[in-house]
Structure 1
Amino acid sequence: MSAIQYEKNTDHIVILTLDSPNQSANTMNSDFRAALEDTVSKLKADAEISGIIFRSAKKTFFAGGDLDELIQAQPEHATAFFHMIQDMKAQLRYIETRGIPVVAALNGTALGGGWELALCCHRRIALNDAKAKFGLPEVTLGLLPGGGGIVRMVRLLGLQNAFPFLMEGKQFGIDQAKALGLIHDTAETEQELFDKAIAWVKANPISQQPFDVKGYKIPGGDPKTPAVAQVLAIAPAMLRDKTKGCYPAPEAIMAAAVEGAQVDVNTALTIESRYFTYLATGQIAKNMIGTFWHGLNAIKSGASRPQNIEKSKMTKVGILGAGMMGAGIAYATASNGIPVILKDVSLENAEKGKAYSQKLLDKKVSQGRLSAEKRDQTLRLITATANAKDLQGCDLIIEAVFENPTLKAQVTQEVEAYLATGGVMASNTSTLPITELAKASQNDANFIGLHFFSPVDKMQLVEIIKGQNTSSETLAKAYDYVQQIGKTPIVVNDSRGFFTSRVFGTFVQEGLRLLAEGVHPAKIEMAALKAGMPIGPLAIQDEVSLTLSEHVAAETRKALQAEGKNLARSDADDVIETMIHQFNRKGKAAGAGFYEYPEGGKKYLWAGLNHWTKENTISEPDMIDRFLFVQALDTLRCYEEGVLESVIDANISSILGIGFAPWTGGAIQFLNQYGVEKALIRANALEAEYGERFHAPQLLQTQAASGQPIQ
């Protein structure tokens, strides 16, 4: 069966129905390329064709490129890959330039290669579906639109207007597509969609792309236009400031767009193919495709969820503590249609927590992203209370009180009796071992950790922590709840700090160690950004608050001493202690930390940090490697120790939970893409120079000896 069904009607209109065999969606794979070549051969052999209509037999129009194929492309395949892309684009260009009308009948979403196919058509008519999405998200996977998307978007929208859709991968719906002139008409039914396509073909027997008309000018002007040239003079520097040189895709997109806008369409398509080949055969795209596509899809399909347990849905969720975390969890839960009981010690506190949801929802309404009616519906789902009896019948109760084991035990015992039969009791702790907290429960098999990240409304990850006696049924229910509220679950086994808090701490501490070693704080922050971290360690320590870090360290020491173990003090501990007790600088919330926070102004590094600054010989590459390796090696230890159960969970959670450099594909993928043998050599060198925390785990040594990646 061909991926493109060829049919010619009595009006000599060729209807090309996209229907990739053995797939739920159409993709630009080898089947499609073979079918396209065959289709173009038929078109060339038939002089009596009055028009062409592309339509889809799937639920959506076209999903994009085949990422399973793309991830296989290696540098040695570059020449063959380039010619393959060029051949496919030449066939699409033939259809586009034959002189007869070409219509895309879009019955749903068209992204990536699917949107590029639509752009090859002279007329785009879409089913009026609010859920349909269009655009070119390739940059989010380290790629660029290689099927003509850059060339055509620039010519249709102009350089400046096209950049956000190309370099940021912004997707858009029907209304925005119409406003941009990218979709010309809509239909309410699939029959009307097809009828309108036929009618347009008949009404426009001679047709071509607007940019193929002699004298056509790119909207806003080409790169030589003074206004455009002025912007382009600073655009590369602004882009480099944003990417810090870690992401070649946005830079390649800008280059292909600007260079392509100065030449004819066919030459521009060749330029685009060259840049696409460079990215597709490079390592960074492979890192990002492996994690953000294959990894995330595996988690969405339940890779870490116990199998053979029926899916569940929460119908009533209780939250204890209406502070920042509790209020955020309430918002995320109610926003997904689940009734919430938000309990605090007083009704006033609980109402304050509910007001947080009101604030977030009001903002959405003011931005036109939510109707006032939907806002009110969501708010009605949140019941603020000080009465534990209101929790009666909850399928799930999450305690989000202060990080104190005694307090957590107290609230667990107070509310557990109100759970529905088979209900789950969860703790939103970020560091305290779940097995210990579960001792307060009457049924530790139904007790689990649900570690949300702040701010909950923005952070996608939830770390699910299994206690020693947590049942598979409880884990499955927790996993289903996290997905029910639109978050990404990763599953870890119990230990102090679990995975995310433990490894996140190594990044912050490395920054504090560098400060103690005399490195200028601005150099520390910049090295972290150049490593690909979203924020510097000093800035993030201010956000977390120095006093909280001191408290967690003290509690950890106390707990370890009770187990007959000791936690050695480090330079990082000394820096925190000096900042709090000598300089009275406790972090952002206190208005003074490593940064100054002027009212209404931009934060800047506190001049008093020169207390530590002295001459040193640490290079920026060494600082970058220290930030990346200290986290990657500890992530590998977590995997080796069984805290993490899969490489997928390790990579996804390292990026979504602790902000590990996305270009790497995650903390373990960083070691794999570095090359395990080279990573071992580098770890050994860092250990010799900077200390035992860079000691290579046995698993890295084993894999390096075999030359096999960590799996």
Structure 2
Amino acid sequence: MTTIHTSLDEAGIALWQVDVPGHAFNVLTPEFFEDLDRAIDDVAANPAVRGVILTSGKASGFMAGADVEQILDMQAGGLTPAQGAAWAIANGSVLRKLETCGKPVVAAINGLALGGGLELALACHRRVLLARADIAIGLPEVTLGLLPGAGGTQRLARMLGIEKALPLLLEGRRLDPAKAHATGIVEDLEDSEEALLARAREWLLAGPAGVQPWDVKGYQIPGGAGPLAPHAARSFQARASQLRARQGRYPAPIAILSAVYEGTQVAMDVGLKIEAKYFGTLIGGKVSGNLVRAFLRQNRARKRDLAASGHEPLEVGRLGVIGAGMMGAGIANVAAGAGIDVVLLDTSAEAAQRAQDHAARLRAKEVERGQRSEESAREIVARIRPTADPAGLSGTDLIIEAVFEDRDIKGAVYKDALAGLAPGGVLASNTSTLSIGSLAQGLPDPYRFIGMHFFSPVERMPLVEIIAGPETSPATMADAFALAGRLRKTPILVHDSPGFYTSRVFCTYIDEAMAMLREGVSPALIENAAREAGFPAPPLAVTDEVSLDLQKRVIEQAQRDGLDARFLRAHAEPVVEAMNARGRLGRKTGGGFYTFTDEGKHLWEGLADLFPLAESQPAADDVAKRLLYIQALESARCLAEGVIDDEASADLGSVLGIGFPAWTGGALSLISTVGVDAFVADCTRFADRAGPRFHPDPAAIEAVRTEAERVRQVRPVLAGEDA
């Protein structure tokens, strides 16, 4: 056996150490299931074996779950629901064989156990977990548009009861060791691997029965099952209504709910078949394919190395951040958390100190939640050195400017930044709209200048746009990517252009909503259609958050810069002007499209007077399509113009940066999801109704077709690559 190393001690305790070759983490490969099947036969037939300890032979973790690359390859190959169900039944039958082999098996979980890894542990008769802070267990399949397909929905519900199991399944929660023990998923915690194995061995030597509770006649699921269970109304009916309202575009949560409801009313073997049926429908669907592909793309982006030319990326030991506002404070906090010393410069010492205090408050909350020790929190905060003296920047390896979005203000701080940079250092701007090429004018080394556009709040938003100016060198790009990776951010490469990528596409989202408002479309219809489409924040609400005076300034800046008419946002400008004229700038003024009160917010009644409703209202589906398709079309234009290099960059940028619905896979993947021809037909229809901005440019559509073909051709090359 190549994936399981076995041994038997003098007391009859077999040790199985899983070490799947060719992978940094153990994953559930076909070879592993074959080896596990043989190992089960061996111990079942050997009377000398009293029990089995199943553990990992890798230092990286217990079992990371399914081979996600294998799943994507099957989906790309046109996997049908029936084939997906058969695959789940084949794998699940091995785990069922494990729990019914007659020999007690204990999982000694000595690292991360997620997805199929936890399902493997659930098929054992007991679980002992290493109580280490970096270890988590959970069933996150729902985040990939799937459900646990190797018995996870059935075993967890039978073990914990349906009420406790459903939140873990529906939300894909990861539990630390203490919570896993308190929840009842693991029976024992130990502080060292030696103690872990000793506890597992001790349990086996006590002579436990090799049978699961649910295989004992008369077993009742805690709390009951079926429509007559006391919790049935809230667990199933109420939750189903909530899921359809909030996650209608995501089929996995409803499938999980159905698998648990149906499967827990029948025998375990029948329940496993029900689970497999629902798994098949999900893995054969487009939504799961999009989410799986997005997951792999995000992992690859984090590992992306632009230093192929032989340049050794800059090792940033001392980072400068200029500007202690929300963005600067967030960047400083994240960098300090990554072990980097940060000099945080602001014109006001008080403002710089407030930024450090911000970091202290956030780290204190981590301590309260048990996520960090007090000593670690103090060390992180101490790495941030607030100052109002530019001399404090001396010797910094990389400086990120995060001041007000004004070309003159940014240019004024570059003198201090350049004076503080160490030889060979990099200067970066956190600009979201201003041209990197124009900001680099007058700099002595424009090839060492780059854009690093973070998103707010920096601590939570995973994306960084790395923006290369006309003269930015490949080495500087590599340095920026290396820093982003160290900050545990997902970087995408964007080439200098008005609005770059995310800001340019985001503007089409809010502008389309304002254009529809001007056409007389009901504001409530616009907002509700956006929610139904899967946007985390509807467009009028999010415009209030970013403010309408900012939109006015951006439009005016584009006019001053003499940009093409398509960047002047003519279809939205009248709405922006009307709202600014009435002082309704958004949340910061107490009202914009919404009115904000202590009790909450509601759409402003005055919108009906300002933008009278049309007699005939469009279908909600068409409103949602306009909001989705205008962003997809703009992404296609960015691809054709060379603003972005590939579909992956567009998809990651749109989902992680501006909240494009994840079920689509991203703004460019949406076109493939609905079909290029259907997309073009709808855009043509919208162009006739709303204007030429929806015209499906032939160059943009051809770029999408070419890129889709390229992605199909590179899939075999990526097969087997670790997630």
Identify the TM-score tier after normalising by the shorter chain: over 0.9
The Cα of 1:424 is off from its aligned counterpart by 1.0
Contact 2:14/2:51 (CA < 8 Å) preserved in 1? yes
- Which residue is 1:225 aligned to? 229
- Which residue is 2:721 aligned to? none
- Which residue is 1:2 aligned to? 2
- Which residue is 1:276 aligned to? 279
Task: Map 1:242-321; keep pairs closer than 5 Å.
Answer: 242-243=246-247, 245-292=248-295, 294-302=296-304, 307-321=309-323
Cα deviation code 1:74-93 (max 9, x no counterpart): 66643343233223322322
The Cα of 1:634 is off from its aligned counterpart by 0.7
Task: Map 1:30-109; keep pairs closer than 5 Å.
Answer: 30-43=30-43, 45-46=45-46, 49-59=49-59, 60-71=61-72, 72-73=74-75, 77-109=80-112
CA distance in 1, matches of 2:707, 2:384: 54
User: In the superposition, relative to structure 1, how do residues 330 and 548 fare at CA in structure 2: closer, same or farther (>3 Å)?
Assistant: same
Contact 1:16/1:54 (CA < 8 Å) preserved in 2? yes
**One-letter code of the match for 1:356?**
H
CA distance in 2, matches of 1:198, 1:569: 69
- Which residue is 1:364 aligned to? 366
State which of 603, 606, 615 in structure 2 corresponds to 1:605: 603
CA distance in 2, matches of 1:604, 1:217: 48
685-694 or 549-558, larger mean C-alpha shift: 685-694
- Which residue is 1:590 aligned to? 589
- Which residue is 1:204 aligned to? 207
**One-letter code of the match for 1:19?**
D
Cα deviation code 1:594-652 (max 9, x no counterpart): 111102x1211111111212223421111111111110111111111111122211111
CA distance in 2, matches of 1:340, 1:510: 40
The CA RMSD measured in Å over matched residues stands at 2.2
The Cα of 1:44 is off from its aligned counterpart by 5.1
CA distance in 2, matches of 1:436, 1:626: 33
User: In the superposition, relative to structure 1, how do residues 172 and 588 fare at CA in structure 2: closer, same or farther (>3 Å)?
Assistant: same
- Which residue is 2:717 aligned to? none
User: In the superposition, relative to structure 1, how do residues 84 and 456 fare at CA in structure 2: closer, same or farther (>3 Å)?
Assistant: closer
The Cα of 1:699 is off from its aligned counterpart by 4.3
**One-letter code of the match for 2:695?**
H
102-111 or 178-187, larger mean C-alpha shift: 178-187
State which of 465, 468, 471 in structure 1 corresponds to 2:470: 468
**Larger relative contact order (Cα-Cα within 8 Å, sequence gap ≥ 6):** 2
Contact 1:676/1:708 (CA < 8 Å) preserved in 2? no
**One-letter code of the match for 1:335?**
G
Describe the SS at the equivalent of 1:627: helix
Contact 1:672/1:709 (CA < 8 Å) preserved in 2? no
**One-letter code of the match for 1:69?**
Q
Contact 1:672/1:710 (CA < 8 Å) preserved in 2? no
The Cα of 1:167 is off from its aligned counterpart by 0.8
CA distance in 1, matches of 2:550, 2:703: 38
User: In the superposition, relative to structure 1, how do residues 180 and 464 fare at CA in structure 2: closer, same or farther (>3 Å)?
Assistant: same
User: In the superposition, relative to structure 1, how do residues 469 and 230 fare at CA in structure 2: closer, same or farther (>3 Å)?
Assistant: closer
The Cα of 1:273 is off from its aligned counterpart by 0.7
Tell me the TM-score normalised to structure 2 length.
Answer: 0.93
- Which residue is 1:687 aligned to? 687
- Which residue is 1:165 aligned to? 168
The Cα of 1:155 is off from its aligned counterpart by 1.3
- Which residue is 1:649 aligned to? 649
Task: Map 1:615-654; keep pairs closer than 5 Å.
Answer: 615-654=615-654
Does the alignment pair 1:185 with 2:188? yes
CA distance in 1, matches of 2:234, 2:133: 38
The Cα of 1:53 is off from its aligned counterpart by 2.4
CA distance in 2, matches of 1:193, 1:617: 65
User: In the superposition, relative to structure 1, how do residues 537 and 710 fare at CA in structure 2: closer, same or farther (>3 Å)?
Assistant: farther
User: In the superposition, relative to structure 1, how do residues 602 and 34 fare at CA in structure 2: closer, same or farther (>3 Å)?
Assistant: same
CA distance in 1, matches of 2:22, 2:216: 40
Task: Map 1:449-468; keep pairs closer than 5 Å.
Answer: 449-468=451-470
Does the alignment pair 1:698 with 2:695? no
State which of 392, 395, 401 in structure 1 corresponds to 2:394: 392
CA distance in 2, matches of 1:551, 1:461: 25
Does the alignment pair 1:130 with 2:133? yes
User: In the superposition, relative to structure 1, how do residues 205 and 379 fare at CA in structure 2: closer, same or farther (>3 Å)?
Assistant: closer
CA distance in 1, matches of 2:691, 2:667: 20
User: In the superposition, relative to structure 1, how do residues 624 and 66 fare at CA in structure 2: closer, same or farther (>3 Å)?
Assistant: same
CA distance in 2, matches of 1:506, 1:197: 58
Contact 1:409/1:437 (CA < 8 Å) preserved in 2? yes
- Which residue is 1:351 aligned to? 353
Contact 1:27/1:63 (CA < 8 Å) preserved in 2? yes
Contact 2:555/2:569 (CA < 8 Å) preserved in 1? no
CA distance in 1, matches of 2:269, 2:423: 67
Contact 1:676/1:703 (CA < 8 Å) preserved in 2? no
The Cα of 1:491 is off from its aligned counterpart by 1.1
Contact 2:639/2:700 (CA < 8 Å) preserved in 1? no
CA distance in 2, matches of 1:598, 1:249: 37
Contiguous gaps of at least 5 residues in structure 2: 712-723
User: In the superposition, relative to structure 1, how do residues 28 and 316 fare at CA in structure 2: closer, same or farther (>3 Å)?
Assistant: same
Cα deviation code 1:343-388 (max 9, x no counterpart): 2222122223323223322333333333333232222222222111
Contact 1:334/1:382 (CA < 8 Å) preserved in 2? yes
The Cα of 1:493 is off from its aligned counterpart by 0.7
Does the alignment pair 1:237 with 2:238? no
Does the alignment pair 1:149 with 2:152? yes
CA distance in 2, matches of 1:705, 1:666: 16
- Which residue is 1:555 aligned to? 557
Contact 2:13/2:51 (CA < 8 Å) preserved in 1? yes
User: In the superposition, relative to structure 1, how do residues 367 and 130 fare at CA in structure 2: closer, same or farther (>3 Å)?
Assistant: closer
**One-letter code of the match for 2:168?**
F
**One-letter code of the match for 2:688?**
A
Describe the SS at the equivalent of 1:28: coil
CA distance in 1, matches of 2:571, 2:638: 23
Percent identity reads 40
Contact 2:128/2:189 (CA < 8 Å) preserved in 1? yes
Contact 1:676/1:707 (CA < 8 Å) preserved in 2? no
CA distance in 1, matches of 2:643, 2:100: 58
Cα deviation code 1:422-458 (max 9, x no counterpart): 1111111110000100113221111111111111122
User: In the superposition, relative to structure 1, how do residues 421 and 303 fare at CA in structure 2: closer, same or farther (>3 Å)?
Assistant: closer
Task: Map 1:392-471; keep pairs closer than 5 Å.
Answer: 392-471=394-473
CA distance in 2, matches of 1:307, 1:240: 50
The Cα of 1:589 is off from its aligned counterpart by 1.2
Describe the SS at the equivalent of 1:440: coil
Contiguous gaps of at least 5 residues in structure 1: none
Describe the SS at the equivalent of 1:196: helix
**One-letter code of the match for 1:598?**
T
User: In the superposition, relative to structure 1, how do residues 709 and 359 fare at CA in structure 2: closer, same or farther (>3 Å)?
Assistant: same
Task: Map 1:373-392; keep pairs closer than 5 Å.
Answer: 373-392=375-394
User: In the superposition, relative to structure 1, how do residues 18 and 672 fare at CA in structure 2: closer, same or farther (>3 Å)?
Assistant: same
Contact 1:317/1:396 (CA < 8 Å) preserved in 2? yes
**One-letter code of the match for 1:281?**
G
CA distance in 1, matches of 2:405, 2:234: 53
The Cα of 1:276 is off from its aligned counterpart by 0.6
The Cα of 1:700 is off from its aligned counterpart by 4.9
Tell me the TM-score normalised to structure 1 length.
Answer: 0.94
The Cα of 1:565 is off from its aligned counterpart by 6.7
Describe the SS at the equivalent of 2:441: helix
